[in-house]
Amino acid sequence: MKLRNDDDTYYRSYSNLLGAMIDFRQNGKLRLVHVNGLNNRQRERYNRARASQWESERSALQQQGRALVLKAESEHKTVIILMVALVAVLILAVAIWIIRHRRQRERENEERAEALQKMVDELKSAPSPQPTTEPAPAALRRAMLQQLGIIKMVAEAPTEQNRDMLRKISSIESDTGGELVNWNNVFELINTLYSGFYAKLHSTYGETLIPKEEQIIVLMMAGFSTKEISVITGQTTSTIYVRKSSIRKKLGVPGKEDIVAFLRERFGD
């Protein structure tokens, strides 16, 4: 039976020891060859044990290193997934905001178009009263509606030729400064029809109110609705509501009181 190398070395180490003991008993002498052989065998066993221990430690360290690498890769993938998810959520939120904003603008444009159509239909269906018998608010309303009717026709077919025509019509009497109506004419008409209302408003609150707010108050005085005011001033209905709130704060109008009624009482009209 052939022994493995480790077993052979193991048994040979003991044979050397036994041989050295037998020689010492027979001759009273101890041969150095047997002692050196025994020492060498023991050293070999020690070195192999140390090498085996080092190999085990190195294998354990390699396994630990591979485990750390796998953990780092897993954490890296998790971070990437979280970043991708966060970016996707942000993109989705921005897309939702854009869609809602666009729908809101479309809805406001539809409301303004509906209000404009209503005013134009009102102009077409209204009888043509005599200038001397027509009530003051109706006269102002007809003057405004006539301008808005022209603007609507141009808006339905916004060609460059129509835009040039509108600019020419707007500048017949004076420059409108890019506005859809000539506010100087409107203010003069308000003063004539409502006992100098605009002049009193401007002299009393001219430093407090901005021009856009004065325009809104004048149109409210003439009986125009919020939608109609948004069409005439070229602002959204939400902006008109915000400006009305600002007007109330600046003038000190109580929440439940009408702005026009408050001003007319203040001016003694």
Q: How confident is the model at residue 1 (pLDDT cuts 50, 70, 90)?
A: very low
Q: Is the pLDDT of residue 7 over 70?
A: no
Q: How confident is the model at residue 83 (pLDDT cuts 50, 70, 90)?
A: very high
Global confidence as pTM: 0.51
Select from 15, 17, 36, 52 the least CA-distant residue to 7. Answer: 15
Q: What share of the chain is helix, strand, coil (3-state, %, to 5)?
A: 80, 0, 20
Q: What's the domain range around 220?
A: 126-267
Which of 28, 54, 72 terminates a domain? The answer is 72
Q: Which pLDDT tens digit goes with each residue over 126-177?
A: 555 555 455 556 666 666 666 556 655 655 555 666 656 655 655 555 556 6
32 shares its domain with 157: no
Asked whether residue 99 is assigned to any structural domain, the reply reads no
Question: How many Å apart are CA 164 and CA 171, to the nearest integer?
Answer: 11
Asked whether residue 106 is assigned to any structural domain, the reply reads no
131 shares its domain with 262: yes
Q: What's the pLDDT at 45? A: 77
Q: Which pLDDT tens digit goes with each residue over 114-125?
A: 665 666 566 566
Give the CA distances from residue 112 to residues 56, 123, 145, 228, 230, in Å, rounded to whole numbers and listed in that order.
83, 17, 14, 7, 7
SS3 for 87? Answer: helix
Q: Give yes or no for a contact between 176 and 215, defined as CB atoms under 8 angstroms apart.
A: no
Select from 50, 43, 33 the least CA-distant residue to 9. Answer: 43
140 shares its domain with 51: no
Mean per-residue pLDDT for 198-225?
90
Which of 30, 49, 72 terminates a domain? The answer is 72
Which of 54, 72, 90 terminates a domain? The answer is 72
Q: Which pLDDT tens digit goes with each residue over 21-76?
A: 666 666 666 556 656 666 677 778 778 888 888 888 888 888 888 888 888 888 88
Asked whether residue 223 is assigned to any structural domain, the reply reads yes
Q: Is the pLDDT of residue 258 over 50?
A: yes
- Sorted by sequence, the CB contacts under 8 Å of residue 187 that are 6+ apart come out as 198, 218
Q: Give yes or no for a contact between 21 and 31, defined as CB atoms under 8 angstroms apart.
A: no
Question: How many Å apart are CA 166 and CA 169, to the nearest integer?
Answer: 5
Q: How many domains does the chain have?
A: 2
Question: How many Å apart are CA 183 and CA 188, to the nearest integer?
Answer: 8
Q: What's the pLDDT at 3? A: 45
Residue 85 CB-density burial (10 A; 0-12 exposed, 13-18 middle, 19+ buried)? exposed
Query: What mean pLDDT, rounded, does the chain reach?
Result: 76
